[in-house]
Structure 1
Amino acid sequence: MNLQDFRTRADVFLVGGIQEKFIEMTTKYNEGNYGDAVAMAKTLVESTCAYVYHAVTNKEIEEDKGHVQVTGNYTIGMYAAVRETLRLFAAQLPNFEQTEKIATTTCDLVQSIADLRNSAAAAHGGRKRSIPPAKLEALLAIEISEDLAATLLLMLHKYQYPDDFNVIGSLIDKTDDMESYVDVNDSGRYVVDSPQFNIGYTVIRSIIQSVDYEVKKLPVNQNVDAEHIKDIVMDYLPKDAKFEGMESDQMYKFYSEVHDTHYSAIFTDLNPGMILRISSFDETLYNA
């Protein structure tokens, strides 16, 4: 296994703190430090729970659901963190009566990771020499942690975009007129093609990363049709997104306060026709 083997999952963990834990976990595994890798697998789950819980409730999970230590700091165990985070999304589970069983089973899997991690040298010191997990044991812990973390993030996406369909950042809503060019992880492209238009959705694990909107034959004047172009872009952005201005002659810039995300639309004149490439971008990196 190497870092590229999980490139699809790495793209899901775009949140800085979570992505950092994912990379460190995978690096430790590749270096043969399986005890450290298992420890980081647990940390990946904990970090994901903390991020998701705060995104939904605007509260720190340790303070809201944890307990105070003698030092005065708040803490919460991984088992409790997963349980409380899953409860936020109980309504998303189609078999509601099975919600508690699903949560319990998931927490049992996570607790197994913790038990495996606690036998590793990376977890804690002790008088006796501990036996670190084997390569396959570490891989099992990593796989479970990645799947659980990715699932929680996907639940968060669905929660944050309840009324938005097929916009940047939302889950793809597959329609009958879409042609599918995706892999088993639902990563790739969905395309809607007609004589007048071609719309391509680039997705990673079902989450829309960018949209290419092509007008094939109709002439488009960027100045005359400026408002129409903005309206097209807005159809693929969250409902609260607003036009902020032109970053360049070809780049339209938008911002969503709800998601604290900047979006760009790059205009290409095909004469006749046009292509708009719509995606999110990091304002900090762009201005660096």
Structure 2
Amino acid sequence: MADTDAPREFAFELALCSHLEATTEWVVSRQLGATVDRAGRRIVDVVGVAPGPGFDRRAEITDRSVPIRAIESDVGAGEAVPRNRVLPEMASETRDAIVDTAVDAGFFATERRDGREYVRQTTRYPDEWFGRLVGIENKPDLGDPGALDRQLRTDVSLGLFDAVVLATESHVTRAHLNRIPAAVGVWRFDPETGTREEIRPPASLSPDEPGIELVAERPLRTDVRPVTAGEKARARRRIAERAYGKGWRTYDFPACAHAEATDDGRPYCAQFERVVDPARTCGDDCDAFDPAEPPDVSTGALRDERSTWRRDPPGVRRRQSGLDRYI
């Protein structure tokens, strides 16, 4: 194996996602951009999306993410719009990509009239389909905090989430708590037993109010950007949509004879008897690698069975069998 140590943070993250999926009503996802100015600047390890009053209506539309620009466009459910007038402020290639993605997801439908293509919504978008958003930063070993303080300060000052939590496997001391922003909750989670202890509850943040985004930090200088409540609302919708479509089983299973899947769909190596990160530890660089067909796992079926997410709802045309094997 390329790395003889278990990919601790990866295994910890997947175990926590599985635990939250089993013990909450949340839509659970991982590795999502969670800023306003540039989504990739801050990647949150795990996001929990609590269902809102319109959740069932949202679940009926599509099991994929709906593009935010499609939701915000002038295309409505009552009247079709010429395709070339959808998002007219955007370059044609970008506009076409958004429209095509929305059509593929089943949120837009197209029709032709007199040789022109028109676009309409298949249904009205339910704005209140999600409630609370919970952001979770994983740090199994608090003895190696890395950029933890900056990451958590960013989350609290921006306030995109209703609550922010730090999840760790370490014993949490008073000194640890004093170094963590007071608004951040702390969980101690054992990935082997799946037990979670709340050391400190998270404070309620203010996603409906303006926030401050940390843009860059330099010696003796921190660049920040004020963020409006409207910008935060749009970012929250983007996060929720991305979480709904992505989920947390975002890996391919290794094409190795030793590769297996746990009951909840995590990649497991029978040779080394542990959950592995296929992208980092499997393949030709592994001494035990034995080429074979990957495990036959439908992660979409597992997610449908174990969570509130709904696979292939009535609002989506059926896809060819096999195309969503690893969705």
Q: Same fold (TM over 0.5)?
A: no
Q: Greater relative contact order: 1 or 2 (C-alpha under 8 angstroms, separation 6 or more)?
A: 2
User: Normalised by the size of structure 1, how large is the TM-score?
Assistant: 0.25
User: Normalised by the size of structure 2, how large is the TM-score?
Assistant: 0.22
Looking at secondary structure, tell me which structure has more helix per residue: 1
